[in-house]
């Protein structure tokens, strides 16, 4: 009886472990990554963002001589990670990438607007746009060097 009870308890524990391992709640939340259109959608968004910043009269001077290809790749990886996608960010830290550029709040906001434009163009719903922006907002501390 005792052995039977122990076996029953073990099976129940195993079943519970399986349910929790394979239930959607146990997996990472990639809903934002999906809303951004996964790899093809996010590739288009970062391409559009980079095109916008390179032609934005408010900030384009910062990007003179910068490799578009590398910037697109690193932004893609970074946004993918932030959105819960299956990526790894291989670029430099935000502090290292932007030090010495003397970026201020106006320039930061201009880039955020360029990103919003890119997401609008790619039909990302407003509340999903806000989710990505909320993840980027705290980065201003590492990026801006003046008010």
Which is closer to ligand HEM, CB of 20 or CB of 97?
A: 97
> Nearest distance from residue 65's CB to ligand HEM, in Å?
8
Which is closer to ligand HEM, CB of 39 or CB of 58?
A: 58
Which is closer to ligand HEM, CB of 35 or CB of 98?
A: 98
State which residue has the least CB distance to ligand HEM: 91
Question: In this structure, are residues 28 and 84 in contact, taking their beta carbons and an 8 Å threshold?
Answer: yes
- Of residues 28, 120, 136, the one with CA closest to residue 82: 136
Q: Which residues bind ligand HEM (CB under 6 A)?
A: 59, 62-63, 66, 70-71, 74-75, 78, 91-92, 97-98, 101, 103, 107-108, 111, 136, 139, 143
Residue 62 sits at the vertex; the CA angle it makes with 110 and 126, to the nearest 5 degrees, is 25
- Of residues 24, 48, 18, 38, the one with CA closest to residue 120: 48
Mapping DSSP to helix (H, G, I), strand (E, B) and coil, where does residue 64 land?
Answer: coil
136 HSE (CA, 13 A, CB side): 19
Question: In this structure, are residues 119 and 132 in contact, taking their beta carbons and an 8 Å threshold?
Answer: yes
> Nearest distance from residue 144's CB to ligand HEM, in Å?
8
> Nearest distance from residue 5's CB to ligand HEM, in Å?
56
Which is closer to ligand HEM, CB of 12 or CB of 134?
A: 134
């Amino acid at each position: 009886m005792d052995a039977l009870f122990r076996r029953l308890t073990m099976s129940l524990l195993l079943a519970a472990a399986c349910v929790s391992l394979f239930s959607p709640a146990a997996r990472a939340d990639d809903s934002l990554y999906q809303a951004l259109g996964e790899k093809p959608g996010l590739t288009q968004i970062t391409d559009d963002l980079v095109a916008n910043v390179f032609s934005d009269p408010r900030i384009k001077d910062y990007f003179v001589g910068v490799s578009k290809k590398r910037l697109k790749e690193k932004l893609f990886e970074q946004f993918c990670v932030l959105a819960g996608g299956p990526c790894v960010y291989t670029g430099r830290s935000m502090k290292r990438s932007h030090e010495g550029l003397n970026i201020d709040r106006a320039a930061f906001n201009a880039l955020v607007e360029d990103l919003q434009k890119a997401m609008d163009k790619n039909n990302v719903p407003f509340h999903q746009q806000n989710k990505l922006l909320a993840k980027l907002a705290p980065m201003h501390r590492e990026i801006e060097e003046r008010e």
